[in-house]
Amino acid sequence: MTAVDTSVKDDYLSRIPTADEEERARLLQRDAIILDTCGSVRPNNAAMIDDSIAILKQNHINAMALTLVAEEDDTRGAMNMIMKWNKLIRQHSHHLVKVQSAAEIRQAKEDGRIGIWYQFQNGRPFDDDEGNVELFRDMGVTQSQLTYNTRTFLGDGGSEPENAGLSNLGRRVIEEMNRVGILIDLAHSGDRTRLQTIEHSAMPVLMSHCATFGINGEQGNITDEILERANEKGGVISIPPLSLASGRIPTVADMGEHIEYALAKMGPSGVGFATDYPKGRPLIYEAAHLDENGYLHLQHDGTTKARVAKWEGRGHLMEYPWYQYAEGMTTYNEFPNLVRELVVRGLDDETILAVLGGNVLSLYEKVVG
């Protein structure tokens, strides 16, 4: 196993914490139930997954939503990923456990294991039949987006210029997700899809890895109107170290600014965090290149399958090079910086514990069980 580097850099923070603040941040991170609503365990090989688990444990990450599906996967692909991760979790059962309730998340922390709940970042696996919602819930999926960036049978994604909102099938899928207990995730959806989902859903929604439009007006970030509507029904937004600033490389201090802004709009019970680090689908964003004709080639899942799309800048796909993480929050090893940033911003302990996982745990318990 490779050595775990836990070094941090104070210049990424709003200011350097005092000795008392440093100790307070350390204790908060140790004692919190820390839930990442778009997390990562790297499964490329045995050594990598062992290192990944070690880093997560050292930084007290208690549970996460693990992405099994994004833009490229259909019903069969989703089933394949579920089978793959069921096996991986069994093989690493001393350290990982599949969780499908708030009680199981709490038990995972008590047992010293990392809880994994399954997440789809697209509604494509549901295909054109809302009956598939219950099928995947029975297979352990407890969080799902309706769309990725492009249109699905359910509604428009965030890059669709028509911004047409939900389909009738999308409304039926929402009703099924409410019935069987799957968290509805508004990340990557178009704004009309988001607003109509909040209105149609009987349960509160999650925005699992979204920054705020009020701080950084990039397409895809969550507008004040959406925050306010979601807040009225008890929703939660989880701020990632992405899409935080335009024209410069952001830092963890920018992440703190977005969290404070969201707290002002959503209240202390409406904000969480996400990392959106590279996912449980091996090599999904690592084998890619932009060719001389302006086409972006993405190789998925460590195979020869590639997605090719004309690169048209912002709003089409993520800005190239995509995944520009905030400095000071680029890996789980730097997670202590987020806790430090929340402390030096003057947030009280109760609010910090809520942002680190308490709010998401409450939402999960209400929707999933």
DSSP states of 13-58 as a string?
Answer: SSSPPPHHHHHHHHHHHHHS--EEEEE----SSHHHHHHHHHHHHH
> Could you tell me the pTM of the whole model?
0.89
Statement to judge: residues 218 and 130 lie in one domain: yes
Statement to judge: residues 100 and 216 lie in one domain: yes
Statement to judge: residues 125 and 153 lie in one domain: yes
3 located within any domain = no
Comparing CA positions, the residue from 111, 113, 116, 141 lying closest to residue 126 is 141
CB 149 within 8 A of CB 317: yes
Give the whole-angstrom CA distance, residue 119 versus residue 68: 6
Alpha helices (runs of H) in the chain, residue ranges in sequence order: 19-31, 46-58, 75-91, 102-111, 131-138, 168-180, 191-200, 224-232, 252-266, 335-344, 349-353, 359-367
Q: Is the pLDDT of residue 238 over 70?
A: yes
Give the whole-angstrom CA distance, residue 261 versus residue 202: 26
Q: What is the pLDDT of residue 311?
A: 61
Statement to judge: residues 273 and 349 lie in one domain: yes
Statement to judge: residues 215 and 340 lie in one domain: yes
What order of strands is seen across the sheet that includes strand 295-299?
287-290, 295-299, 306-310
Domain tally, the chain: 2
Statement to judge: residues 185 and 305 lie in one domain: no
Question: Quick one: tokens of 348?
Answer: 């009280």
Q: What is the pLDDT of residue 42?
A: 79
Lowest-pLDDT choice from 70-79, 179-188, 345-354: 70-79
Residue that wins the pLDDT comparison between 334 and 6? 334
Find the helix or strand (DSSP H, E) in which 141 lies: strand 141-145
Comparing CA positions, the residue from 90, 96, 117 lying closest to residue 108 is 96
Q: What is the pLDDT of residue 294?
A: 74
Lowest-pLDDT choice from 203-212, 235-244, 302-311: 302-311
161-173 mean pLDDT: 97
CB 28 within 8 A of CB 352: yes
2 located within any domain = no
What are the backbone angles phi and psi of residue 66, rounded to the nearest 5°?
A: -105, 120
Q: Is the pLDDT of residue 318 over 60?
A: no
Give the whole-angstrom CA distance, residue 243 versus residue 324: 8
Statement to judge: residues 293 and 225 lie in one domain: no
What are the backbone angles phi and psi of residue 310, rounded to the nearest 5°?
A: -65, 130
Q: Is the pLDDT of residue 280 over 80?
A: no
Q: Is the pLDDT of residue 335 over 50?
A: yes
Lowest-pLDDT choice from 216-220, 256-260, 292-296, 321-325: 321-325
Residue that wins the pLDDT comparison between 125 and 7? 125
Statement to judge: residues 218 and 160 lie in one domain: yes
State how beta strands 206-207 and 271-273 pair. unpaired
Mean per-residue pLDDT over the chain, rounded: 89
1 located within any domain = no
Q: Is the pLDDT of residue 303 over 80?
A: no
Q: What is the pLDDT of residue 346?
A: 98
Residues 6+ apart with CB under 8 A from 266: 227, 230, 231, 235, 236, 237
Give the whole-angstrom CA distance, residue 134 versus residue 324: 36
Statement to judge: residues 23 and 66 lie in one domain: yes
Comparing CA positions, the residue from 348, 364, 327, 330 lying closest to residue 28 is 348
Residues 6+ apart with CB under 8 A from 138: none
CATH assignment of the domain containing 162 = 3.20.20.140
Q: Please give the residue range of the domain that contains residue 233.
A: 10-281+329-367
Q: Which DSSP category does 121 fall into?
A: S
110 located within any domain = yes
Q: Which DSSP category does 165 fall into?
A: -
Q: What is the pLDDT of residue 7?
A: 45
Q: What is the pLDDT of residue 283?
A: 42
Residues 6+ apart with CB under 8 A from 206: 37, 143, 183, 184, 185, 186, 235, 236, 237, 238, 360, 363
Confidence of residue 308 (pLDDT cuts 50, 70, 90): low
pLDDT in tens, 22-42: 999 999 999 999 999 999 997
Statement to judge: residues 191 and 333 lie in one domain: yes
310 located within any domain = yes
237 located within any domain = yes
101 located within any domain = yes
Statement to judge: residues 316 and 349 lie in one domain: no
Confidence of residue 138 (pLDDT cuts 50, 70, 90): very high
4 located within any domain = no
Statement to judge: residues 261 and 294 lie in one domain: no
Q: What is the pLDDT of residue 306?
A: 52
